[in-house]
Structure 1
Amino acid sequence: MAANLRIALAGLGTVGTGVIRLLADNGALIASRAGRGIDIVAVSARDRQRDRGIDLAPYAWEDDMTALAARDDVDVVVELVGGSDGPALALARSTLGAGKSLVTANKAMIAHHGLELARLAEDHAARLRYEAAVAGGIPIVKGLGEGAAANRIERIYGILNGTCNYILSEMEDTGRDFAEVLSEAQALGYAEADPTFDVEGVDAAHKLAILASLGFGTRLDFDGVEIDGISRIRAADIAQAGALGYVIRLIGLADCELAGGGGRHLFQRVAPYLVPVSHPLAGVDGPTNAVVAEGNFVGRLLFEGAGAGDGPTASAVVADLVDIARGSAAPAFSLPVEALEASAPVDPGHRRNRAYLRFMVADRPGVLAEITAALRDAGVSIESMIQLGHPDDEENPVLVAMVTHEGPESAVTKALDLLAGSASLAEEPLVMRLLG
């Protein structure tokens, strides 16, 4: 058996301590599958005195985490600090620049700096692995990069944020509004004290950009992701979707097509969608992630599981360590950086779909006629409509919800432009597409 793989661990939060426990509990099994043991030799974190419920005495301690990359007794550094820049990025650059492999769970860093880090790894014969950065314990990175490697991936979409999925499925089950369920999610630890990255779709967008690069062989383009969150969704929207045979889920969706001149057009969107109750994603509830990849030979693949948590995420981290211990030399994004294709963003206006439109309007005559006239003038055809009024309360706005027939997104955009600034609207209209 080869010499043991020696690792250093930066970040001792729930995932970092989970990695230590996993290596301790399953060490013999992991060694037999990896072909050699995996030993932790050094660790680093912000607070040395904090009680983490594990014994750190066997490991060397570095107050400066970048010193882990310089240690002669370290082969791989595991970065579990987080943040797209700052200490995490400095450690990643130092590690790969020293010719040592890096394993990370840092989705933001990979989404923003993944190509730079992948190039550093290639230049210094190191490995960059990040299975834990996307969908926790679900092996989607390996699934796309290896399991579906013989396929041309045509579309990738799924539920990429457990916090949003918990909130939406709780709203669905209980009839409560967003703010109340968010507070509960924070109390249960499913949502951060500042939930902005989760509920406004940024976290899911980081993951989608990574999956798009992996699946389509294109360069990372986080800036090209169209992002919309769930904070404006009301219990009434959930109820209307249910009456129509849909559930609402925050979906990350990407597809790629050939453009004129041999280039590629890449479409990436994170937004709430109405998902048919018959679709596999409709049954995914709670803090669960699920990803669908459609290949031209394999068809539809569904990956589902825990998207966060110490156990699932630690499992993904250690799976990457096993990969390195076995000597895998696969590029970080399945292709060498120079082979990844540049792409241009797609104008979504030509995309055809059905849409759910929700208006909060003044309860007075002529308002509905104004809305329908704008839709007519923009070429939007209405399939169904419902108005929820308050016969005893004319002061508060009422909800008008519509579902359109299939048509170009540009038509809906034009209709909303025609209504912009109308005194009849109490707030900006909400648009959600129907997944299909």
Structure 2
Amino acid sequence: MGHEELLARHRAVMPDWMALYYEQPIELASASGRRVTDREGRTYLDFFAGILTNAVGYDVAEISDAIRSQLDTGVLHSSTLYLIRSQVELAEKIAELSGIPDAKVFFTNSGTEANETALMLATRYRRSDQVLALRNSYHGRAFATVAITGNRGWSATSLSPVKVAWVHGGYKFRSPFKDLSDTDYIKACVADLREVIETATAGDVACLIAEPIQGVGGFTSPPDGLFGAFKEVLDKYGILFVSDEVQTGWGRTGEHFWGIQAHGVTPDVMTFAKGLGNGLAIGGVVARGDVMDCLTANSLSTFGGNPIATAGALATVNYLLDHDLQANAAKLGERLLDGLRDIAADRPAVGDVRGKGLMIGIELVGPDGAPDPAKAVAVLEGTRERGLLVGKGGLYGNVIRLAPPMTLTEDEVEEALGILEDVL
């Protein structure tokens, strides 16, 4: 069965709001390393990795062996009502890596569920339903996470279980403060934060939640130090700080293991998912022990932290650390950024090239600098035609997102740069 027939079946039974890439969508049938092959036999270099999820690449023996070993026991599932050895071992490792004092970990099935859990913890701990979030943010597709998503293209409803106030900071390229120096930009955003707390809330806010680099928002990020300055303000009010590391965790930014570390601050709560499982469904929350333990009702997770997911995730984290993929992300990310900026130098359609490590955005614009989503679609299609898969996003749908597996090689960087230069 080819792509055309499967697409017709997909449209008959799947919701209209479930997006598909490409004018002629493709099915991925097999994969190895950083390359995937579609059902019709075409092979591509994958520079989006299942939306940053296949962080180590495809068909990695150490991860596959760990999953098979758990499968061989016959215990695919037990729920959190029973002890799960790989869950405890993974939680110990994440608690240590987090840098959060007295940290405890709760596992979920996705980043959306992780952020929902963080909101429940913060609102219960602070006994407040008020939340601060950043403009242009994305935190998931569930009821509360849609409410704190500051990107209209992903906000499916105005109904909300929390009261949200929005602050500036995550997207400097189109900010009203964009012409300021980084130092003055931080000062302006901090002043905005204080004013929002004083004028748009009752003061007893539960938390501020922020992505160190806004993912769906187009891989945008503030100057380093912004969230450190934010934390000083939050601490004066007793407001918790939640760092959404669903896309920035596990060393992808190159310079740090967690994206928030660029800001010289330790959050009260971090959420994670995506790259942790290298394709398996797993997410979670790591938080200060007093925050994690604030719930007084019974709770559990049927599937979160299940034996298969945690066995594979533990192998993934060990592989990331043993092979120092953070350093590889830093080295090859720098080469990729430099190459893209060289390409952009004489191409006015490229308004901005930004990012850290292997998390890079290319913002496409019209002659007047306005967002040009049609150009992004053209690049998405053009790269696929030439054997490269990339992502797309941004507030206006005009940003190409690059997030290849962190096992990327120098030759693959040059191959991708050649394709992108041709298409751009």
Under TM normalisation by the shorter chain, which class is it? Answer: under 0.3
**Larger Rg belongs to:** 1
State the TM-score, normalized to the length of structure 1: 0.23
Q: Higher strand share goes to which structure?
A: 1
- For CA contacts below 8 A with separation 6 or more, give which structure has more relative contact order: 2
